[in-house]
Amino acid sequence: MRFFSDNAAAVCPEVFAALAKVNTLDTAYDGDRWSAALDDRFSALFETDVRALWVTTGTAANALALAALCPPYGGVICHREAHINNDEAGAPEFYTHGAKLLLGQGDGAKLAPETVKTIVAGIRKDVHQVQPHALSITNATEYGCVYTPDEVAALGRVARAHGLGLHMDGARFANAVAHLGCTPADLTWRAGVDVLSFGFVKNGGLSAEALVFFRPDLAEATRVRRKRAGHLLSKGRYLAAQILAMLDDDLWLRNARAANAGARLLAEAAGDRLVYPVEANEVFLRVSAQEAASLRALGFDFYDWGVGEARLVTSWDQSEADIRPLAEAIAAL
Amino acid sequence: MRFFSDNAAAVCPEVFAALAKVNTLDTAYDGDRWSAALDDRFSALFETDVRALWVTTGTAANALALAALCPPYGGVICHREAHINNDEAGAPEFYTHGAKLLLGQGDGAKLAPETVKTIVAGIRKDVHQVQPHALSITNATEYGCVYTPDEVAALGRVARAHGLGLHMDGARFANAVAHLGCTPADLTWRAGVDVLSFGFVKNGGLSAEALVFFRPDLAEATRVRRKRAGHLLSKGRYLAAQILAMLDDDLWLRNARAANAGARLLAEAAGDRLVYPVEANEVFLRVSAQEAASLRALGFDFYDWGVGEARLVTSWDQSEADIRPLAEAIAAL
Amino acid sequence: MRFFSDNAAAVCPEVFAALAKVNTLDTAYDGDRWSAALDDRFSALFETDVRALWVTTGTAANALALAALCPPYGGVICHREAHINNDEAGAPEFYTHGAKLLLGQGDGAKLAPETVKTIVAGIRKDVHQVQPHALSITNATEYGCVYTPDEVAALGRVARAHGLGLHMDGARFANAVAHLGCTPADLTWRAGVDVLSFGFVKNGGLSAEALVFFRPDLAEATRVRRKRAGHLLSKGRYLAAQILAMLDDDLWLRNARAANAGARLLAEAAGDRLVYPVEANEVFLRVSAQEAASLRALGFDFYDWGVGEARLVTSWDQSEADIRPLAEAIAAL
Amino acid sequence: MRFFSDNAAAVCPEVFAALAKVNTLDTAYDGDRWSAALDDRFSALFETDVRALWVTTGTAANALALAALCPPYGGVICHREAHINNDEAGAPEFYTHGAKLLLGQGDGAKLAPETVKTIVAGIRKDVHQVQPHALSITNATEYGCVYTPDEVAALGRVARAHGLGLHMDGARFANAVAHLGCTPADLTWRAGVDVLSFGFVKNGGLSAEALVFFRPDLAEATRVRRKRAGHLLSKGRYLAAQILAMLDDDLWLRNARAANAGARLLAEAAGDRLVYPVEANEVFLRVSAQEAASLRALGFDFYDWGVGEARLVTSWDQSEADIRPLAEAIAAL
């Protein structure tokens, strides 16, 4: 059984079925009715007027969001461990035309309001230093930790106070919402978020993520940037259909709950081996090289994380029966 | 019946079936075995050692190709009517970081070797003028005209003589090969092409194009640029599978032949209304506004092209029975 | 005697003297009192509230101006023969991060309002085509022709109607004003110009041009871009001093009048050999290769311009005595 | 007396005289004989074949150097306190088109070889993480500390081992050489440096720095980039002349020795208040707010540096008599 990444999981059947349903001649690019429906569907979900664009990857979503919030000569405050800093090959720098990521620290890849304030305070207000224009947080974080609505709101206030746009990388937004039981609105715009990268691919989709703008004015230039980046697929209806299928009957939440439940099962078995609280679908475990090898010998695959740690990621399609053997193996270490 | 664009057509069943076949947990990004198979499959097709990367759009394929051939401070010679100049929202400029398109003219959106030589000769060899580093041609062109292997080779010789990399935008490469009956090798690297954007989406695919490097050294940096542009999909196997399905049993050629046949049917009906020779799946027709309206009144949809012209594009999935009514209507104008 | 370029001329004595006057310890960058005085001095000259920044080259001034007016994904309408298109090595594309120059034609490198309208009308209002955001004109043009205040105003109206910012490349603005006898205000903001590159180097300066913003809001980000481009010299007072010296007692106008007078002398001698009306300090002459050679044999140096033409440029420091021999030689051809 | 910055100092008389000497009509841009002489003069100084270009600022020199060594998708390892990271407004990101600065730490803004190795080792060799392509060090550093030839050579070996180009920001290179008493060659190419930003402006120049390429192949594209960045001044001879004057009779070294001597005078007075060893012309001092105020009350101006520290910078034109009063005031604190 593989616990490398939710990226590796299969596509869920409802999404697949949705592809078949749109497989007829229709208007190209995003001129089809499914693409056109996204604004309304996400506006309903978020209880406010939003603009929603499909893109194929979280990297593209994040980079487009940052380009909408930060000029080429500006800076984006984020966590040192943020995906935008560590795992996107410089996509933010490419899309923003060279904006600088201004890095902070914090446990579980979470940024505290004080950390953001300190970064801002450390920058002279002159033309020699790159001035911050945006703040980007990941929810759930790269370490499977979750910001609560209150925590986001506290960051949102700092952002507003310093004129920073607020972006949320929600590659695992569904897992965060599923964990918190809050509304999507409470975790985003009501807490000050301007743009959300809303991930679906890790959660059962095939190739569609949504970029959700809570400030509709930011969306128009982004439509142009999306095309300019080669991300306006000519058969866009196959992307829109995936997202709509994920929204139908809260499939996105059900899938995230399933993945989270799997992680909790592992967390319970792991006890004080846990490096971070398990709040989404990622489990970071303290294990010796020998212990890791013994788990692998039993057929469980996962990534080592630095020295002495392992990362286990559960997916929407892993049942309790799939996961329990690993939980037992961990408990038995 | 709609003749707007082959982009609007449905996805062909073999491609759809291929998606289902890869729908299991596998390695993320392009680490799966289908993605890994592309180099060999395209090497076999092109009878030489190539590197092949999937991307989701022709715009991304073209822009990545140009970035591989031209530095930020260089220029790319292309036709004024080239898709890269007119319909990609500045993607070449984005990916190359500001290279300049140096525009030439020619009937049917084809560039003649003399035109390229004239452009090169008109540029002073100093640091004040942007020096050309690449030549980009489209085959079949934006007007459905085809460069023969000899014509490409003549351009290839000019390119080599001036140190220009040669890119072929093959959004409708299949239609060109189907028309010419030549080998893919003769139309590309044997004629001096360095990189080919090999289109599949217009030809029955869903979201996968191939970027084929005949100079393998150019591919490595492009893999990085693809990721940096947010084009490395996490579930890449669903892209690779589409392409492999198109290559199986020459589906790409069969689909292109079908589309070309439809266009020929219209061309025969059009007679001297034709603006360009019909060599692929596009038909440009001289029609008055009244005539265009009368065709539309019969249920045929298409784009006006400037004043007094109409563009009709046929697709892989339009049968003779689908097209004959339009042919008859044109003949009856 | 050399008539290659006004760029090659010496620095005028008043400018030199000004350098000596600021040669004491003072605040670095643009924190000195001379740099600080530019806003007021140019506001007085232009009879309105402006922001003025020194830069070292016309290329930097133009590129910064365009970056202020046009986003990376936008387009700038200009003449095919514009310096920004032909002689700045892609600086506009670099500073704007890849905006596209949209080229028009017109005699003497002048753009007519109709030409601009035609370019705008030819661009579909969708995300596939690069949308124009700015219009850039050169006054005096690259061929020594001058736009009158009325002509600029007509272009200004077209720009406003289509939401385009209006930039004037005034590398030879002084020559244009000297020729027209109008106020600087009438030729710029009163006619709709948003930003002016006001050249001093060709006109007797050493290394200082002024970038004048008639929309003060555009200046702030430009101050940052200037630093980011490495154009914020640490001893900025030596740039400011040059400009202030040029403004004192209308030195800029006196120098331009001198250069224009030299060109008129040549123009009178040239008669119907003139390719363009001589309205600034450039003279384009129809001469055979033999005639050009005979002039050179007499000790006159200049550039050939294409086949059968020569370009002669006069400078602020060439007296009638310097120029008359060439005028006589031309008359004697 | 002001000790803010050597940037604020006046221009030295020899440099001024050199400007006057070239003040005649000559070839524009860098076609003049003074600009042409730079390659030979620097080749002689560095005892090897180099290419040398003038630019107006250290920021431009650094950013052009990094663009020559690092592709847009690469990374540049440097110290967290490096000028390129902290005080150039993102110029490296602009010129490289978005390369990422990969930051290390170390006392006195010096990087140790182990630090560089650790940074390299922490980066996965895949397309998701930005790969390092260059290493940039500052000598003397931003804190007035000096790398010896051996220390540079140790970094040079690490750079070579990992395929990194090596850039030296030598805004105060003269001060470093003056301190070390070594040859310029030993401190640069013999120790593995590929490109040097050789500063003259802080050391008595007006507006000319030299960019020295020890790998001549890197210079050609840089000449194009210099023009594209608007840094090819049309009257380039006034820049070349400044540099040549600084090289004549080792003026650059004499000026640096003078500035260093001033700093040593302060250092001796400061005793254990020194934060870093004083090896160039900068002195960082532990002083309370009260003490700083008392020094200012005596007429000495300088920057506070964080809390409880002050930065004093001495210049080429400050004599012992100028500096002794401050030294005495510090000793008397």
The verdict on a CB contact (< 8 Å) between A73 and D89 is yes
Return the residue of A nearest to D82 by Cα: A129
The arithmetic mean of pLDDT across residues B13-25, rounded, is 93
Asked if A203 contacts A255 with a C-beta cutoff of 8 angstroms, the reply is yes
CB contacts < 8 A (A, B)? 151
Cα B63 from Cα D287, distance rounded (Å): 56
Best CA proximity match to C127, nearest among B158, A219, B272, A241: A219
CA dihedral for D149, D155, D161, D167, sign (positive or negative): negative
Instruction: Decide if C60 touches D, using CB distance below 8 A.
Output: yes
| Interface-testing mutation among B34, B235, B239, with chain A (most A C-beta atoms within 10 A) | B235
The verdict on a CB contact (< 8 Å) between B202 and A89 is no
Tokens found for residue D142: 């931003």
Instruction: Decide if D24 touches C, using CB distance below 8 A.
Output: yes
| Interface-testing mutation among A2, A85, A234, with chain B (most B C-beta atoms within 10 A) | A234
The residues pairing with C285 across neighbouring beta strands, listed in sequence order, are C274, C310
Tokens found for residue A222: 């982004």
Residue D254 burial (10 A CB sphere; 0-12, 13-18, 19+): middle
Q: What is the largest CA-CA distance in chain D?
A: 59
The pLDDT confidence band at residue B9, using thresholds 50, 70 and 90, is: confident
Q: How many CA atoms lie within 13 A of B111 on its CB side?
A: 30
Chain centre to alpha carbon of residue B83: 9
Closest CB to B230: pick one of A4, A29, A91. A91
Per residue in B107-137, pLDDT (tens digit) is 999 999 999 999 999 999 999 999 999 999 9
Cα C105 from Cα D80, distance rounded (Å): 50
Cα-based distances in Å from B91 to C72, C123, C133: 11, 16, 17
Cα B51 from Cα B333, distance rounded (Å): 49
pLDDT attached to residue C307: 87
Per residue in B236-258, pLDDT (tens digit) is 999 999 999 999 999 999 999 99
For B54, the 3-state DSSP assignment is: strand
Return the residue of C nearest to A72 by Cα: C97
User: What's the count of helices (H) and strands (E) in chain D, helices before strands?
Assistant: 14, 10
pLDDT attached to residue D24: 87
pLDDT attached to residue C306: 82
The pLDDT confidence band at residue A306, using thresholds 50, 70 and 90, is: confident
User: Which residues in chain D have Cβ-Cβ distances shorter than 8 Å to C323?
Assistant: none
The arithmetic mean of pLDDT across residues D195-218, rounded, is 97
pLDDT attached to residue D181: 98
Cα B171 from Cα B87, distance rounded (Å): 13
Tokens found for residue B63: 């822009």
Query: How many angstroms separate the CA of residue D90 from the nearest CA in chain A?
Result: 6
The pLDDT confidence band at residue C260, using thresholds 50, 70 and 90, is: very high
* Locus of tokens 């795992």: A87
Distance spanning both ends of chain A, measured CA to CA: 18
Best CA proximity match to D198, nearest among D309, D61, D41: D61
Cα D206 from Cα D202, distance rounded (Å): 8
Asked if A69 contacts A194 with a C-beta cutoff of 8 angstroms, the reply is yes
pLDDT at A280 over 80: yes
Does the complex come out with an ipTM higher than 0.90? yes
Return the residue of C nearest to A220 by Cα: C127
Task: Report percent pLDDT > 70 for chain D.
Answer: 100
pLDDT attached to residue C287: 96
DSSP run (H or E) holding B45: helix B33-46
Dihedral (C-alpha) A241, A245, A248, A250: value to the nearest 10 degrees? -130
DSSP string, B101-113: EEEE--GGGPPPH
Residue D305 burial (10 A CB sphere; 0-12, 13-18, 19+): middle
Tokens found for residue B260: 């070309």
Query: How many angstroms separate the CA of residue D259 from the nearest CA in chain C?
Result: 15
Instruction: Decide if C93 touches B, using CB distance below 8 A.
Output: yes
Tokens found for residue A318: 């892993």
Partners of chain B (3+ Cβ pairs below 8 A): A, C, D
The arithmetic mean of pLDDT across residues C247-276, rounded, is 97
The pLDDT confidence band at residue D4, using thresholds 50, 70 and 90, is: confident
Per residue in A139-180, pLDDT (tens digit) is 999 999 999 999 999 999 999 999 999 999 999 999 999 999
Return the residue of A nearest to D100 by Cα: A90
Closest CB to C23: pick one of D4, D16, D29. D16
CB contacts < 8 A (A, D)? 55
pLDDT attached to residue B215: 97
The residues pairing with C301 across neighbouring beta strands, listed in sequence order, are C2
If phi > 0 it is left, if psi is from -120 to 50 it is alpha, else beta; for residue D237 that is: alpha
pLDDT attached to residue D266: 97
The verdict on a CB contact (< 8 Å) between D73 and B225 is yes
pLDDT attached to residue B24: 87
Return the residue of C nearest to A228 by Cα: C73
Instruction: Decide if B20 touches A, using CB distance below 8 A.
Output: yes
* Locus of tokens 């003589």: B161
What is the C-alpha radius of gyration for chain C, rounded to an integer number of angstroms?
A: 20
Query: How many angstroms separate the CA of residue D91 from the nearest CA in chain C?
Result: 4
If phi > 0 it is left, if psi is from -120 to 50 it is alpha, else beta; for residue D41 that is: alpha
The pLDDT confidence band at residue A321, using thresholds 50, 70 and 90, is: very high
List helix spans (H) across C97-163: 113-121, 149-161
DSSP annotation of C2: B
Cα A277 from Cα A264, distance rounded (Å): 10
Distance spanning both ends of chain C, measured CA to CA: 18
Asked if B99 contacts B126 with a C-beta cutoff of 8 angstroms, the reply is no
Q: Which residues of B236-261 are buried (b: 16+ CB within 10 A; e: fewer)?
A: bbbbbbbbbbbbeeebbbbbbbbbbb
Tokens found for residue D50: 């180099």
Partners of chain D (3+ Cβ pairs below 8 A): A, B, C
DSSP run (H or E) holding B237: helix B237-247
Q: Strand D51-55 to strand C303-304: parallel, antiparallel, or no bridges (unpaired)?
A: unpaired
User: Which residues in chain B have Cβ-Cβ distances shorter than 8 Å to C99?
Assistant: 90, 93
> Average pLDDT of chain A?
96
Instruction: Decide if A127 touches D, using CB distance below 8 A.
Output: yes
pLDDT at C26 over 90: no
* Cβ neighbours of D52 (radius 10 Å): 23
The arithmetic mean of pLDDT across residues B77-97, rounded, is 98
If phi > 0 it is left, if psi is from -120 to 50 it is alpha, else beta; for residue C310 that is: beta
List helix spans (H) across chain A: 13-21, 33-46, 58-69, 83-86, 91-96, 113-121, 149-161, 173-180, 184-187, 219-228, 237-247, 251-270, 289-297, 320-331
pLDDT attached to residue B26: 85
The verdict on a CB contact (< 8 Å) between A221 and C128 is no
pLDDT at D136 over 80: yes
Cα A94 from Cα B60, distance rounded (Å): 14
Asked if D64 contacts C229 with a C-beta cutoff of 8 angstroms, the reply is no
Cα B25 from Cα D26, distance rounded (Å): 71
User: Which residues in chain B have Cβ-Cβ distances shorter than 8 Å to A229?
Assistant: 60, 91, 94, 229-230
Per residue in A36-54, pLDDT (tens digit) is 999 999 999 999 999 999 9
CB contacts < 8 A (A, C)? 28
Return the residue of B nearest to A59 by Cα: B230
Cα B147 from Cα A107, distance rounded (Å): 60
Per residue in B160-178, pLDDT (tens digit) is 999 999 999 999 999 999 9
pLDDT attached to residue B297: 96
